[in-house]
Amino acid sequence: MTEPKCLVNCTIPVKLRDFLKEKGINRSELFRKAALRMTEGEICPYCYNTNIDDVPKGLICRDCDKWLKFNSCPLCKANHNLMSGVRDINGKIGCDACPEEEEKKINVVFGDVQR
Ligand SMILES: [Zn+2]
Ligand SMILES: [Zn+2]
């Protein structure tokens, strides 16, 4: 899916223009990148819609279903990825990588009870 494009005029200092020319930096690419960076999380860099949801796993575009950013799990600090899931761990928001750690804690408690 390709978004229609348009021409925008912008005014920049001459020295900056010369610098960009010298560096061979494509102005269209530069403008697109800079604009997206300045508004990160507000507009989708894939489909350019603004229907973005802030969920525990990260930021997702509801129009094209692409992830814009992944958070790290607040409990085990693991980074979320495309395949990772969010799950409830004792009333807190955890992730797929959490359970092993939680199981260990439970075993420790049982050990204390048996003594
Ligand atoms: Zn999108
Ligand atoms: Zn976790």
- 107 is a domain residue: yes
pLDDT for position 1: 62
- Average pLDDT per 10 consecutive residues for the chain, totaling 115 residues: 88 95 94 95 96 96 96 94 92 85 55 48
Distance 61 CA to ligand 1 centre (A): 5
CA dist list (Å): 6 to 17, 28, 35, 45, 103:
20, 10, 15, 16, 56
Q: Which domain holds residue 43?
A: 14-114
pLDDT for position 66: 97
The model carries a pTM of: 0.72
Nearest ligand to the C-alpha of residue 3? 1
pLDDT for position 74: 93
- 5 is a domain residue: no
Tally the domains of the chain. Answer: 1
Q: Torsion angle, CA of 93/96/99/101, rounded to 10 degrees?
A: -90
pLDDT for position 115: 43
Distance 89 CA to ligand 1 centre (A): 30
Nearest ligand to the C-alpha of residue 53? 1
CA dist list (Å): 74 to 1, 30, 55, 80, 106:
35, 35, 13, 10, 19
Distance, in Å, from the CA atom of 108 to the CA atom of 89, rounded to the nearest integer, reads 17
Distance 97 CA to ligand 2 centre (A): 5
- 1 is a domain residue: no
